[in-house]
Chain A
Amino acid sequence: MSEFLQQLINGLSLGAIYALIALGYTMVYGVLRFINFAHSDVFMVGAFIGYYVGRHLPEGTVWGGLIAMAAAMAGCAVLGIGIERLVYRPLRSGPTLNVLITAIGMSLFLEYSGQLVFGATPRAFPSIFPAKLIEVHGLIVSMNQVIVIVVAAVLMVALEFAVFKTKIGTAMRAVALNPKAAQLVGINIDVVISFTFGLGSALAGAGGVLYALNYPSIDPLMGLVPGLKAFVAAVLGGVGNIPGAALGALILGMVETFVDGSRWSTYKDAIAFATLIGILLFRPAGLLGRFTAEKV
């Protein structure tokens, strides 16, 4: 039983990181209908910003960690908005596939220029938050896991507030529902899309720092696998659907952790996809997505 609970907590913290990345995928998909492949590399850049800022801060303090994370979020938001402005916007009227290829190009660009700038060798991530092990009734929870879960929960509540209670959030949902109609009622689509990219990239930046804390080595290609998993999570929950992304990420995090603890651990990556395929076969639009019939 205690092992089950232990794995549950591990799964929760992994799922929380996936959720932070998945939210960015799903929001961009919601307004622009394309898979932003470069998102996983924005996540990587976030981890590196956290690394460079964290080195100049005293180790093991909560405020130091929060500053590093805030820096990563701000840096990633700027990067995300910049990518959208320079690369995706000129293609917005074109076919989605082109944007997809451009996103792949952008992803490769960030990965390989990352290798030039940061070097290809993995680096140890500084322990910017206090490292402690907390023992509750035989369960061992690391401080990092607590921080990951708390920060992810706070950010998701903040996102929920931003999307459902603010004016720009309402505009975002309007654009996701129908871009043309949104424009007709006076919404500035460019601003909304920039905002979406900024928000999603900031979450990815936070995710990058949190991921680096728990898996303490970072390299320019680190975004690939978690990025892919997060995207699977977004689709699992119904792509374009914000609570769906969080739900999908938690499910995926749990499944992976439990598989990892079993004797099937080498099949971990395959099982993540098998879960996805299994769910999509029965719910083709994801868990919380709504299946819309094509109208003629």
Chain B
Amino acid sequence: MPKPLIALIATVLVAFGLSHYSDRFDPYYLDVMTGVGINIILAVSLNLVNGYTGQFSLGHAGFMSVGAYLSAGITLLLGPRLFGSGGGSALQQGMLFLAALVAGGLGAAVAGLAVGIPSLRLKGDYLALVTLGFGEIIRVTFQNVDALGGALGLNGIPNYTTVFWVYSFAALAVFTVICLVRSTYGRGFIATRDDEVASEAIGLNTTRYKIVAFVVGAFFAGVAGGLYGHFKLTITPTGFDFTKSIEIVVMVILGGMGNTTGVIFAAILLTILPEALRSVEQYRMVLYSVLLIFLMLVRPNGLFNFDYMAISARLWRRITQARG
């Protein structure tokens, strides 16, 4: 069996185990862990677009909101009709949640396609701004649709998100991105980023690569949105504004563009950091911003941008040499 697949299955099993014993942990740590997992999904999926394909997108929160609203709508509307007042068994709820998450992801993917086709003609900062604009348009639309709660958002979303769901999807996102990029087909993403003109010259359909990256990225953003909604239990349009998109972009850049391992570490760090700074609540965001500037000044290629394979190979050599 290929290594990434083993890792995927192992993570899902570990997540299932953890989830099973979740009532033995402090709920605060579980919350932080869930937040970390959701951010990993967001950062890793955005990394496919920004890092590997080199298309600077600032609209990730918009896709996240599509997934969040769609999946929350499904569980809110269908849940009571399917299960009645009893609430259904755990398995039934799980199946409904899975369906809602996948539907949310697919909805976000469709939104990604709709945004991607017209805007991927643009480059660099123009693309960044147009994706930001689409994100804001999606947000304002949600704000004005009364059926979706308007500016107040949706409330009373069932509490379905568990460590199991979050980390299974995080593992799936990492698995998909890694396998996609390492495949023969997926080399085209990196080629598109490195030199678009040259890639076109050798016959790659760069527009198509960009759209695939966009759609896959949007799918996972949608799933993350669904998980987020069933974790926070209430979603408002302002929770998905462009500061949220920027937060995810910062994770990708700090982790090192196009470096999945680094991006995962950055997502963990940047979720835990504000929590760790909670004791100095007043100065929290000031410290966060100073740290961000400082990190960019001293480690311009990303905080976690190491060559992990080389490091582990060196370590392995050292261990084997020490033995021999």
> Shortest beta-carbon distance, A115 to chain B, in Å?
8
Task: Find the B residue at minimum CB distance from A99.
Answer: B296
Per-residue A-contact encoding for B39-65, CB less than 8 Å = 1, 0 else: 000000000000000001000000000
A106, A281, A296: the one contacting B289 at CB < 8 Å is: A106
Given known pairs A90-B297, A116-B283, A269-B140, the reply for A101 and B118 (CB within 8 Å) is no
Is B288 part of the binding interface, using a Cβ–Cβ cutoff of 8 Å?
yes
Task: Find the B residue at minimum CB distance from A95.
Answer: B300
A107, A108, A281: the one contacting B121 at CB < 8 Å is: A281
Is A143 part of the binding interface, using a Cβ–Cβ cutoff of 8 Å?
no
B121, B137, B292, B300: the one contacting A104 at CB < 8 Å is: B292
Interface SS of chain A? helix
Which chain B residues border A294 with CB–CB below 8 Å? 196-197
CA A111 – CA B300 in complex, angstroms?
A: 24
Which of B19-27, B123-131, B167-175, B217-225 faces chain A?
B123-131
Contact A274 B130 (CB under 8 A): no
> Shortest beta-carbon distance, A125 to chain B, in Å?
25
Given known pairs A235-B126, A266-B143, A284-B121, the reply for A274 and B296 (CB within 8 Å) is no
Is B18 part of the binding interface, using a Cβ–Cβ cutoff of 8 Å?
no
A101, A267, A296: the one contacting B250 at CB < 8 Å is: A101
Is B14 part of the binding interface, using a Cβ–Cβ cutoff of 8 Å?
no
CA A115 – CA B283 in complex, angstroms?
A: 10
Is B186 part of the binding interface, using a Cβ–Cβ cutoff of 8 Å?
no
Q: 8 Å CB contacts to A: which residues of B269-300?
A: 282-283, 285-286, 288-290, 292-293, 296-297, 300
Given known pairs A109-B290, A294-B197, the reply for A104 and B250 (CB within 8 Å) is yes
Which chain A residues border B285 with CB–CB below 8 Å? 108, 111-112, 115
Which chain A residues border B297 with CB–CB below 8 Å? 87, 90-91, 102
> Shortest beta-carbon distance, B247 to chain A, in Å?
9
Is A124 part of the binding interface, using a Cβ–Cβ cutoff of 8 Å?
no
> Shortest beta-carbon distance, B290 to chain A, in Å?
6
Task: Find the A residue at minimum CB distance from B136.
Answer: A273
Which chain B residues border A101 with CB–CB below 8 Å? 249-250, 253-254, 292, 296
Task: Find the B residue at minimum CB distance from A268.
Answer: B140
Is B246 part of the binding interface, using a Cβ–Cβ cutoff of 8 Å?
yes
Which chain B residues border A280 with CB–CB below 8 Å? 122, 126, 130
Is B134 part of the binding interface, using a Cβ–Cβ cutoff of 8 Å?
yes
Contact A91 B137 (CB under 8 A): no
Given known pairs A87-B293, A109-B293, the reply for A116 and B126 (CB within 8 Å) is no
Q: 8 Å CB contacts to A: which residues of B136-176?
A: 136-137, 140-141, 143-144
Given known pairs A102-B293, A116-B282, A281-B118, the reply for A270 and B136 (CB within 8 Å) is yes
Per-residue B-contact encoding for A229-245, CB less than 8 Å = 1, 0 else: 00110010001000000
CA A116 – CA B292 in complex, angstroms?
A: 19
- Can you give 13 contacting A-B residue pairs, CB < 8 Å? A98-B296, A101-B250, A101-B254, A101-B292, A101-B296, A104-B292, A108-B285, A109-B289, A235-B125, A273-B134, A280-B126, A284-B122, A294-B196
B contact residues vs A (CB 8 Å cutoff): 56, 118-119, 121-123, 125-126, 128-130, 132-134, 136-137, 140-141, 143-144, 196-198, 242, 246, 249-250, 253-254, 257, 282-283, 285-286, 288-290, 292-293, 296-297, 300
